[in-house]
Amino acid sequence: MKLIILDRDGVINFDSDQFIKSPDEWKPIPGSLEAIARLTREGWRVVVATNQSGLARGLFEMATLNAIHAKMHKAAAQAGGRIEAVFYCPHSADMNCGCRKPRAGMLNEIGMRYGSDLNGVPVVGDSLRDLEAAANVGARPLLVKTGKGEKTLAAGGLPASTPVFSDLGAAVEHLLTAA
């Protein structure tokens, strides 16, 4: 089984400093759905791991998050792709939970659910916390410049040997041609 873990906001869809609070605000980054479709065709299992502190902050309800994810699943399917599951942390940073990236809880849960050792599994993110979460479980962090990626790159401090790509499509191209 080839497993890949993607962050949501800034990797698959455009990010917002005001949070993605409705299905209407969820807009895919050009090429991201096609990249997911390409992974699907090549036999990869695509899983999303996303911090969603907007729930804890009261910015949206669980039903709204489900509607946003339903739109994402449908958009991926219409492009020929499949997102197998979405794992999310509903907590705010000050709640000190174990599932919020950069902590390892959410990624460990994915590993357990899929019966997979995460060693070397690609994790694509646009923020340092995505990359640190990957490094914390022995997965392979990949940075995209979309979303907060440019700022993350400029700030430095990336885990050792983290490759950088213009977007999800470029990261997928690299993974599939390097395999």
Q: How far is CA 64 from CA 18, 46, 55, 59, 88, in A?
A: 15, 22, 10, 10, 14
Q: Are 169 and 37 in contact (CB under 8 A)?
A: no
Active site residues: 7, 9
Strand partners of residue 83: 46
